[in-house]
Structure 1
Amino acid sequence: MSNTDSNGGPATEAPTRRGYMRYSGAVIGGGLLAGCTGSGSSEGSAGTAAGNGTNGTATASENTTRGGENSYSVRMAPMGNVAFDAVPKSVFTRLTHLAGMAFALGRGNDVNAMHSPDYYDALWNQFTPRLNGVSLDWSGLYSSWEPSKEKLYELNSDIHLADPAGVFALDGWNRKDVEEIRDNVAPWFGNYYSDRHAEPPAEWADAYQYYGLWEMFEKVAQVFRENARYKALADIHRGLLDTIEANRPPADERPTAVMALPTDFDEIYVYKVNNPGFLTAHTRPLGATEAFGDGTSSGDTVDMEGLLEADPDVMLGLGGMHPETDIKQVREKLNENPVGKQLTAVKNDRVYAQGARYQGPILNLFQLEMTAKQLYPEQFGEWPTYTSGPYPEIPTDGQLFDRQHVADIINGDI
């Protein structure tokens, strides 16, 4: 990846960052952000430390920062302790799992940047119609997959909900740049490599720890002083997981499944459903059998013959609910293809549309319900055939969570 303008911002002699927030974290030789202790779960699995650290514990000493009487701090790897003098208002994000957390806390419209904003605005708004009184507009925001330092100065956000290790890994960014933005604009607060438990850059390995989607959400909620909202949504999530665990069929009766949306039959991206990391927060709790064995990694590409060799019972189509995706045409083309029509999932009409892997808590609730119905219709109710439009209307007695309760929480009625 390249960075359009990594040196366009003011020089490091720029005035000290506003007193709005202060950073307090561990430092690795020369000031690299670090530090996080403790353990947690990842949608039911224990959190994992990366690199050479032990149980996610940073080996570096910590700096301390004196804040005002209303100051508070939140600790998360790889940043360490991040101290705030006031609740952030304007919010920079890079990836949508963190933008989705701001949305869940009633701050979706405070987001000023995100990856592919128009795409994800359209996708998220396939779900908001089922949440009475909830609205969201991310269209036209700065597209921040490869942010420039100059743009971060211009946005002047109160917080960067983004992993400093992930930004550090971009072309054109170095440790000094990351620290400059932290010190002169606003703190970093995010964790990217928990997505699939990937290796962070070596410079950050001792400071790294992996978190589940809802563990990370709890920490983001603490940043915004929204513990009550988090707890209310977490209770709904816990109840949904309990329902799934109590009713899913035994392991030997579960279908084989893969996340894939075949639009280019020569290069089909396939993603496993049980991999560690928050990208499978909507599939791993369902415990379906992997269609692809150990010889294939999540994110690999196969052709139609390779897909037929795995022959999944169920295909979960990532992005299939996006307005620009014609899922009906995808199904038709599979049925017309001489190899595609042999697929068990195609023959049994089990090619389903889904949303996104970089999901926040609200999409996670919908996608857990969706996936439960798609994989186990006898246990959780039939999933309506989806062709276009918003998330299908499910009769109240077939819903696995209360939409109005979720909408009320987002709107602050806890």
Structure 2
Amino acid sequence: MASDSGERDDTTRRRYLAATGALAGSALLAGCQSESDATTDGTTSTTTDATTRATTDSGAYSVSMAPVGEVAFEEPPSNVMVYSLLYADMAVAYGHGDAVNSLGFSTNAAGSLHAYYDRLDGVSFDQSGLTQLNQGGSGITVDKEVFYDLNSDLHLIDPALVVSFDGWEASDVQQIADDVAPWFGNVYSRRNTEPPEAYADSYEYYTLWEIAETVSQVFQAQARYDALAAIHDDVVATIQSTLPPESERPTVASVIFIDGTFYPSTFNADGFAHAHTRPMRAPGAFAESDVSYRSAYDYETMLEVDPDVIINRYSYSYYDITSVRQTLAESAVGSRLTAVENDRVYAGGNPLQGPVMNLFQLEMTAKQLYPEQFGEWPGYDGGPYPEIPEDEQLFDRDEVAAIVNGDLS
């Protein structure tokens, strides 16, 4: 896990060097994909321009992704700071889960990983000893000192995200890169939203699987990526070739339900947050113009929308879906919702998904929306992802476990 060293001299950077990436808004990028190239149906892009990798005879290599640009390595990093869950999932998928030294919200967020990994023999993620980066408050508070304390080889974090934290500026991000280790990450591709102004000129948007491919290069695990991506493509192809006619697809409300209020999300928009819902091609219950970061619906407004299906996001880590269902059923208005009456309020996945999470969340969503095509969803009340009969699984658990465990034979 993390080193206890707090030394701040040049040795803290060890073998990991920021190369041509300028962290404070430089437009110097090596072959970044244009937004128009991004796939919108969840399939793996065949574009190769999104990343650039070069390997020298000495074994050194470089990897490129916006907004940082190109970062040079002599070997895969062994002590990695992570904030967002998708990068922890990628580290595990590529055999480097033990390199992760932190998470933004370590205690609760890791629940999503455990729920899925419990169905993969030999795959796990040890969250004990992880540093929780966000210290709370009215905004996101991350102490600069923790970067020196953890003394990471790589900050697998989008520097544009860090600039949005309380008390951080682009100059602080550059100082951490100079004193400790480079940055590498992209999270505004979650919904393809605007990054902070300092990164507006250097930002590009990628699909989940394009980011996953790039990170596999960081860990020199491209064969694992290729194997997982092939399974993903098969799952998406199976789903989309089996969908019922458009007229028979349910309307879906993707929400977070808290204290009688529904906080909605789009269902088919671009961004890796929707990588498990967009391939379902189901109509979202909310008009795109009605959904924003500040949108909220009370019971009465939700009844006017009256979706066929309600999916409560983050129900594998933060929200108790059993309590959500009970609260809705006990409400005089909520109990009249079609989704409640038909027992179609489901535990939704985590939008901050990595490649392994995405496979499970694709299968889960397909079963929740289209049980006649993909088999009944058995329900979820906490704990591990439910057992699915082998003949109703959309991907082979043993195959995925073997890939993650490094058996590519």
TM-score range, shorter chain: 0.7 to 0.9
Contact 1:36 1:208 in 2 (8 A): no
Gaps of 5+ in 2: 1-5, 135-140
2:74 to 60, 81, 85: 85
1:282 paired with 2:276, answer: yes
- In structure 1, the residue corresponding to 2:269 is in which secondary structure? coil
Give 1:290 shift: 0.9
- In structure 1, the residue corresponding to 2:357 is in which secondary structure? helix
Give the equivalent residue in structure 1 for 2:159: 164
Give the equivalent residue in structure 1 for 2:341: 347
Give the equivalent residue in structure 2 for 1:305: 300
Aligned in 2, Cα 1:26/1:109: closer, same or farther, shift over 3 Å?
A: closer
TM-score normalized by structure 2?
0.88
Contact 1:196 1:276 in 2 (8 A): yes
Aligned in 2, Cα 1:21/1:140: closer, same or farther, shift over 3 Å?
A: closer
1:316 paired with 2:311, answer: yes
Contact 2:115 2:385 in 1 (8 A): yes
Gaps of 5+ in 1: 1-8, 48-55, 58-64
1:233 paired with 2:228, answer: yes
Contact 2:158 2:187 in 1 (8 A): yes
- In structure 2, the residue corresponding to 1:289 is in which secondary structure? coil
- Cα deviation code 1:265-286 (max 9, x no counterpart): 1x32111111211111110111
- Cα deviation code 1:159-189 (max 9, x no counterpart): 1110111112222222221112112211111
Aligned in 2, Cα 1:314/1:66: closer, same or farther, shift over 3 Å?
A: closer
Q: Which amino acid aligns with 2:174?
A: E
Give the CA RMSD over aligned residues.
2.6
Give the equivalent residue in structure 2 for 1:41: 38
Tell me the percent identity.
47
Deviates more, 1:346-355 or 1:293-302: 293-302
Give the equivalent residue in structure 2 for 1:268: 262
Contact 1:36 1:207 in 2 (8 A): no
2:207 to 208, 212, 221: 212
Corresponding pairs, count: 387
Contact 1:260 1:318 in 2 (8 A): yes
1:183 paired with 2:194, answer: no
CA distance in 2, matches of 1:327, 1:201: 34
Contact 2:42 2:275 in 1 (8 A): no
Give the equivalent residue in structure 2 for 1:122: 111
1:222 to 217, 236, 239: 217
CA distance in 1, matches of 2:190, 2:88: 14
Contact 1:33 1:79 in 2 (8 A): no
- Cα deviation code 1:137-164 (max 9, x no counterpart): 1144211244322110110111111011
1:368 to 357, 362, 368: 362
CA distance in 2, matches of 1:10, 1:20: 15
CA distance in 2, matches of 1:46, 1:136: 27
1:251 to 235, 246, 253: 246
Give 1:46 shift: 10
TM-score normalized by structure 1?
0.87
CA distance in 1, matches of 2:121, 2:239: 25
Counterparts of 1:185-204 in structure 2, within 5 Å, are 185-204=180-199
- In structure 2, the residue corresponding to 1:259 is in which secondary structure? strand
Contact 1:118 1:140 in 2 (8 A): no
CA distance in 2, matches of 1:46, 1:37: 21
Q: Which amino acid aligns with 2:397?
A: R
- In structure 2, the residue corresponding to 1:385 is in which secondary structure? coil
Aligned in 2, Cα 1:21/1:66: closer, same or farther, shift over 3 Å?
A: farther
Give 1:379 shift: 0.8
Give the equivalent residue in structure 2 for 1:50: none
Aligned in 2, Cα 1:116/1:31: closer, same or farther, shift over 3 Å?
A: closer
- In structure 2, the residue corresponding to 1:372 is in which secondary structure? helix
